Amino acid sequence: MQPLSLSLDAECTFKTSRSGGAGGQHVNKVSTKVQLEFNVIQSAILTDAEKELIQQKLGSRITKDGILQIVAQAERTQLGNKDAAIDLFYQLINKALMPPKPRKATRPTKSSVQRRLTAKKRDSDIKALRRNPGEQ
């Protein structure tokens, strides 16, 4: 998966701005917040199937124009936030492209079926006691 990650770096663009929150004078004059943008639709590296899969799984993070946006502002430095944004980007991409684990069909155990049936019978008996004798 490493060759894919190296080539995706070229298609990412970064924007910086001032971070919000506490921090005193320093936060008001330094642009440490980093926004990573990756155009999923126009990517030359991803296949059409991969693009569609990413759009399905990461739809809430993708704009109408097909741009995946990731914002990082937890670190105190721009470089730290850029590294955090890149790490999150690759985690999201790798998780979206990972095939789902196939489901193994299982059967309930005999004891669990027996427990369920006895509980149903007990509930049925309790409800039968609530009924009027004339109803039925």
- Count of domains forming the chain: 1
For the entire predicted model, the pTM comes to 0.69
Q: Is residue 51 assigned to a domain?
A: yes
Nearest Cα neighbor of 33 from 89, 71, 88 is 71
Q: Is residue 129 assigned to a domain?
A: no
* pLDDT at residue 136, as a whole number: 59
Once rounded to an integer, what is the mean pLDDT over residues 55-74?
91
Q: Tell me the pLDDT tens digit for each residue of 5-50.
A: 557 778 898 998 888 777 677 777 888 899 999 999 998 889 999 9
Q: Is residue 107 assigned to a domain?
A: no
Give the CATH number, domain containing residue 15: 3.30.160.20
Say if CB 43 and CB 51 are below 8 A apart.
yes
Q: Is residue 78 assigned to a domain?
A: yes
Q: Is residue 115 assigned to a domain?
A: no
Q: Is the pLDDT of residue 71 over 90?
A: yes
Residue 115 amino acid letter: R
Q: Tell me the pLDDT tens digit for each residue of 101-123.
A: 999 999 999 999 999 999 999 99
Say if CB 31 and CB 17 are below 8 A apart.
yes
* pLDDT at residue 6, as a whole number: 54
> Domain range for residue 31?
2-97
